[in-house]
Structure 1
Amino acid sequence: MAKPDDRSNNAERLQQMVENTQENIQEANDSLQNTDMTDEQKQQIREKNQRREESIQSFQNEIKDEQNFRRNQ
């Protein structure tokens, strides 16, 4: 038997994911100061950060959806 969908803390979990991803972006940006990295490695970090930014946008959209769901309950 499937568990019922518990959405009670989805917005909070998503917000935590946003904050964790922002921290990862900052740490990656800090690592770009490492002079031992190749240009290719730096480019890979920039590309990964771009994907992280896109993830944050998706998380924020999901948070809005969850907030709307709660209001309509």
Structure 2
Amino acid sequence: MAKPDNRADNVPHLQKAIQNTLKKLHDTEDYLEEFGEEIPQQEKETLLAKNERREQSIAKFRREVSEEAHENP
């Protein structure tokens, strides 16, 4: 038997995902600032691409939080 869809805790889960992703984004920025001159260009480009994807994910998470908040006031 399938469990009922319980969305009551979606917003807190999404907010935690946003916080975790922001931390990774900032940690990567700090790393690049400190060691950017010492690491290979390919690694730097990989990290910058990851941060772009993180920014996109954060935007999606925030849209989801907004939608959830409007659906479940």
**TM-score greater than 0.5 by the shorter chain:** yes
- In structure 2, stretches of 5+ residues that fail to align are none
In 1, Cα distance between the equivalents of 2:57 and 2:69? 18
2:43 equivalent in structure 1: 41
Q: How far apart are 1:30 and its partner, in Å?
A: 1.3
Give the structure 2 partner of residue 67 of structure 1. 69
- Hey, what's the Cα distance between the residues in 2 that align with 1:36 and 1:5? 49
In structure 2, the residue matched to 1:25 is: 25
Q: RMSD value over aligned CA atoms?
A: 0.9
Query: What is the TM-score of this pair, normalised by structure 2?
Result: 0.91
Count, aligned residues = 71
The aligned residue for residue 6 of structure 1 is: 6
Q: Which runs of 5+ in 1 are unaligned?
A: none
Amino acid in structure 2 at the alignment position of 1:10: N
TM-score between the two structures when normalised by the length of structure 1: 0.91
Which contiguous aligned blocks of 4+ residues in structure 1 show a shift greater than 2 angstroms?
Answer: none
